Amino acid sequence: MKVNGVDYRTVWMQGSTVRMIDQQRLPHEFVIVSLPTHQHTAEAIRAMVVRGAGAIGAAAGYGMAQVVLEAPAGTDYATYIARGAETLRRTRPTAQDLFYAVNRVLAAAQAAGSVDAARRAAVAEAEALADANAAAGEAIGRHGADLISDGARVLTHCNAGWLAFVDWGSALAPIYAAARQGKRVFVYADETRPRCQGAMLTAWELAGEGIDHAIIADNAAGYLMHRGEVDLVIVGSDRIAANGDVANKIGTYEKALCAAANDVPFYVAAPTSTIDPACPTGDDIPIEERSEDEVLYISGKTDAGEICRVRIAPEGARARNPAFDVTPARYVRAIITEYGVHAPNALPRPR
């Protein structure tokens, strides 16, 4: 997608350096960061400089390629690779794409006949994963656009646009594709407390693509659905269990319940790399709990142009901060992947 007329991917590799858009600085500043080692890349994933399942996956794939490039060729080679993979796996527990990418790059390196061949194979696999991620987003857009009629009002939660992938996105891809087909689309972007990915990132992306939209407080969605002002909901996913249960940003489950109560179709868009056949149901999906500070404080830009963080809760107040929830498959009308639109109980397998 373009930023100020220039084509960008969310994350890419230049030599042995991983480069990415710093999503902590958006929407107020557009900054590219350079990460020279896999430890830097792992920390960027953990701290949410890069976030969104697909982008995390691509970053982890590149991080794993860095591990293989850095590994000393002698007897410590295998130990270095195993430790590096573990460092990356420990960054964020819910996003299935992270584990998918680390395992794929690791397997490509292990299948090579020499250390030099392993280094080439790891980089090539990480690049192939990033390309596949962008292509999946475009295909999801094509399939999902058929579900959006001219004049539709779509509600989305969190950010599952191009920033959450290498390009295109998942939940926002059908909206971008529909708009490029000439359909008029209006988007309600849930602000998505506590990190406000909807208010900060989705709104920034939609403005960049010229899509008409309004940010709503998270608790306004039920009101709008009840009034008939939402035609469909499309959300992304961080991990989909084998039975079609869907983990996504905290608050998604409530949106699904509201949609069911008001006969609003609820769609999930995700590439097959997000499907985890080893998780039988949503109860088996590990849910990340993040720092309570994300709930107790909020960051933003003052009218004087200063970026700052302020405490919004009383001194001494405690908080809970589960980052994801699980929506049971029965509330999901269909799941849009790069292969088409599927019933949640008839999902294709990741390849």
Q: Does residue 61 interact with ligand MRU by CB under 6 A?
A: no
255 binds ligand MRU (CB under 6 A): no
Which of 10, 20, 26, 52 contacts ligand MRU by CB under 6 A? Answer: 52
Q: Which stretch binds ligand MRU (CB under 6 A): 31-39, 134-142, 155-163, 256-264?
A: 155-163
**Binders of ligand MRU in range 99-118 (CB under 6 A):** none
Tokens 């292509």 -> residue = 135
- Interatomic CA distance for residues 25 and 30, integer angstroms: 7
CB of 249 to ligand MRU, least distance (A): 3
Task: Give 108 or 258: the residue with its C-beta nearer to ligand MRU.
Answer: 258
Strand partners, 240: 246, 275
Out of 97, 238, 245, 325, which one is annotated catalytic?
A: 238
Interaction residues for ligand MRU, span 269-288 (CB under 6 A): none
Q: Among residues 160, 173, 258, 279, which is the contact residue for ligand MRU, using CB under 6 A? A: 160
**10 touches ligand MRU (CB under 6 A):** no
249 part of the interface to ligand MRU, by CB under 6 A: yes
Q: Which stretch binds ligand MRU (CB under 6 A): 63-71, 81-89, 183-191, 234-242?
A: 234-242
197 part of the interface to ligand MRU, by CB under 6 A? yes
Residue 109 C-beta: closest distance to ligand MRU, Å: 26
Is residue 248 at the binding interface for ligand MRU, with CB under 6 A as the rule? yes
Contact with ligand MRU (CB under 6 A) among 67, 129, 235, 246: 235
Is 155 a binding residue for ligand MRU by CB under 6 A? The answer is no
Distance in Å, CB of 291 to ligand MRU, minimum: 13
One residue of 98, 256, 323, 334 binding ligand MRU per CB under 6 A: 323
Structure tokens at 303: 């009218």
- 133 binds ligand MRU per the rule CB under 6 A: no
Inter-residue contact 27 to 200 (CB < 8 Å): yes
- Does position 237 interact with ligand MRU (CB under 6 A)? The reply is yes
The size of the interface with ligand MRU (CB under 6 A), counted in residues, is 17
Token duo for residue 286: 């590990």
Q: Does 170 bind ligand MRU (CB under 6 A)?
A: yes
Q: Counting contacts by CB under 6 A, is residue 58 touching ligand MRU?
A: no
DSSP conformation letters of 16-83: TEEEEE-TTTTTT---EEEE-SHHHHHHHHHTTSS-SHHHHHHHHHHHHHHHHHHS-SSTTHHHHHHH
- State both tokens at 74: 């002698």
* 238 belongs to the catalytic site: yes
Q: Which of 43, 44, 42, 1 is nearest to 20 (CA)?
A: 44
Residue closest to ligand MRU when measured from CB atoms: 236
Q: Pseudo-torsion of CA 215, 217, 220, 221, nearest 10°?
A: 60
| Helix, strand, or coil (residue 293) | helix
Phi, psi for residue 15 in degrees, rounded to 5 = 60, -130
- Find out whether 154 and 187 touch, Cβ atoms under 8 Å: yes
Residue 159 binding ligand MRU, by CB under 6 A: yes
Q: How far is the CB of 38 from ligand MRU (least distance, A)?
A: 19
Computed on alpha carbons and rounded to an integer, the radius of gyration of the chain in Å comes to 20
E runs forming strands in the chain: 2-3, 6-7, 11-14, 17-21, 32-35, 152-156, 185-190, 212-216, 232-235, 239-241, 246-249, 266-269, 275-276, 297-301, 307-311, 324-327, 334-337, 340-342
Active site residues per annotation: 238
Please give the residue ranges that form the binding site for ligand MRU (CB under 6 A): 51-54, 158-160, 164, 170, 197, 235-238, 248-249, 323
